[in-house]
Amino acid sequence: MRETVWISFVFGFVLLFIGCQSQEEIKRQKYITEGKQLYKTYCANCHQPDGTGLANLYPPLNGSDYLVKKDSVICLIRHGQQGPIVVNGQPYNRIMPANPQLSELEIAEIVTYIYNKWGNEKVVTDIKTVRNQLNKCPKP
Ligand code: HEC
């Protein structure tokens, strides 16, 4: 009797665990799909659909060493970016426009897409992370 109770407990927890894992995976796939669409609309003109950028005008996202600074990436998507920056040793100095129209969810989806596609991540960047960071962005 005792053993049965114990076994059903363990079994229950295992199921719960698998359930949570797949919920998270469903969310990740959804963010990636939505993020890809948003990227096409708001980013691909300059950074190109494959993220390789355009000559010395628009820096790449694919393989970009700038992606380690995710906090800065979240801020620049919202507020834009100008002034000289260096990506993979190459200098750029053009204007990236701000995106005041994007919601926190949309920024989270774009960031999740970029980092899963080109930043070696297998996780979601959630709305809370984006909101916390947006509150900390330096005034442009
Ligand atoms: C009008 C062209 C344009 C659009 C549209 C644009 N960017 Fe940019 N982006 C730039 C330029 C130019 C820079 C470099 C700015 C500088 O020289 O200071 C840049 C820099 C960046 C960087 C940091 C450098 C790097 O390559 O890693 C990231 C990340 C980035 N953009 C992401 C995005 C995302 C995401 C979107 C869509 C929401 C987007 N950009 C839309 C032109 C653009």
pLDDT, tens digit, for every residue of 101-123?
A: 999 999 999 999 999 999 999 99
Question: How confident is the model at residue 3, as a pLDDT?
Answer: 87
Domain CATH code at residue 68: 1.10.760.10
Domain of residue 120, residue span: 24-136
Query: What pLDDT shows up at residue 19?
Result: 87
Structure confidence by residue, pLDDT tens digits, 29-85? 999 999 999 999 999 999 999 999 999 999 999 999 999 999 999 999 999 999 999
In a domain, 99, yes or no: yes
User: What is the distance between the alpha carbons of residues 96 and 82, in angstroms, rounded to a whole number?
Assistant: 6
In the chain, how many domains are there? Answer: 1
- Encoded tokens for 50: 């494959």
Which two three-digit tokens encode residue 135? 């509150």
Span 16-32, mean pLDDT? 92
Tell me if 78 CB under 6 Å of ligand 1.
Answer: no
Cβ of residue 74 lying under 6 Å from some atom of ligand 1: no
CB 64 within 8 A of CB 80: no
37, 56, 94, 96: which to mutate for ligand 1, most atoms within 8 A of CB? Answer: 96
**pTM tops 0.85, yes or no:** yes
By three-state DSSP, how is residue 133 classified? helix
